[in-house]
Amino acid sequence: MTYIAKPRLHHPTLTLNNVGYTRRDYEGRVSTLCAGCGHDSISAAVIQACWELDIEPHRVAKLSGIGCSSKTPDYFLGASHGFNTVHGRMPSALTGANLANRDLLYLGVSGDGDSASIGLGQFAHAMRRGVRMAYIVENNGVYGLTKGQFSATADRGSKSKKGVINSDSPVDLVGLALQLGATYVARSFSGDKAQLVPLIKGAMAHGGAAFIDVISPCVTFNNHGGSTKSYDYVREHNEAVSRIDFISDRNEITAMYEPGEVIEVQQHDGSMLRLRKLLSDYDPTDRNRAMNYMQTHHSRGEIVTGLLYVDPMATDLHTSLNTSELPLNAMSAAQLCPGSGALAKLNASMR
Partner 1 sequence: MQRTDISNPTYFHKVVDCQWACPAHTPVPEYIRLIAQGRYSDAYMINWTSNVFPGILGRTCDRPCEPACRRGRVEENNGADPEPVAICRLKRVAADMKDDVKNRMPSLSPKNGKRVACIGAGPASLTVARDLAPLGYDVTVFDGEAKAGGFIRTQIPRFRLPESVIDEETGYILDLGVTFKSGQRIDSMNGLLAENYDAVFVGCGAPRGRDLVLPGRKEAAANIHIGIDWLASVSFGHITKIGSRVIVLGGGNTAMDCCRSSRRLGGDEVKVIVRSGFEEMKASPWEKEDAMHEGIPIMNFHVPKAFIHENGKLTGMTFEIVKAIYDDKGHRSLVPTGEPDALIECDDVLVAVGQENAFPWIEADCGIEFDKWGLPTLGKETHQSTVPNVFFGGDAAFGPKNIITAVAHGHEAAVSIDRFLNGEDIHQRPDPLTNLMSQKMGIHEWSYDNDTSNDLRFKVPWAKAEIALASIKVEVELGFDVATAFKEAHRCLNCDVQTVFTESACIECDACVDICPMDCITFTVNGEESDLRERLQAPAHNKDQALYVSAELKTGHIMAKDEDVCLHCGLCAERCPTGAWDMQKFLLNTTKAGSSCRDGAQVKIKVADEVVA
Q: Which of 3, 167, 225, 340 is in the footprint of partner 1 by CB under 8 A?
A: 3
Q: Are strands 149-150 and 209-215 parallel, antiparallel or unpaired?
A: unpaired
Which residues have a Cβ under 8 Å from the Cβ of 289 and sit 6 or more positions away? Answer: 282, 283
Show the site string, 68-97: x = touches partner 1 by CB under 8 A, - = not. ------------------------------
The stretch near partner 1 (CB under 8 A) out of 6-14, 49-57, 259-267, 268-276 is: 6-14
Best CA proximity match to 4, nearest among 25, 22, 31: 31
Using rule CB under 8 A, residue 20 touches partner 1 = no
Binding-site residue total for partner 1 (CB under 8 A)?
Answer: 36
Using rule CB under 8 A, residue 215 touches partner 1 = no
Using rule CB under 8 A, residue 35 touches partner 1 = yes
CB of 1 to partner 1, least distance (A): 6
Using rule CB under 8 A, residue 29 touches partner 1 = no
Residue number with CB closer to partner 1 (2 or 332): 2
CA 45 to chain centre: 11
Contact 195, 188 (CB under 8 A): yes
Residue number with CB closer to partner 1 (4 or 334): 4
Cα 61–67–70 angle (5° rounding)?
15
Cα 205–129–57 angle (5° rounding)?
35
CB of 10 to partner 1, least distance (A): 6
Using rule CB under 8 A, residue 107 touches partner 1 = no
Using rule CB under 8 A, residue 1 touches partner 1 = yes
209 phi, psi to nearest 5 deg:
-80, 115
- SS3 at position 263: strand
- Look up residue 143 and give its amino acid: Y
CA 304 to chain centre: 16
Using rule CB under 8 A, residue 12 touches partner 1 = yes
Q: Which residue ranges make up the site for partner 1 (CB under 8 A)?
A: 1-14, 24, 30-31, 34-38, 40-41, 43-44, 190-191, 193, 217, 219-220, 223, 231-232, 235
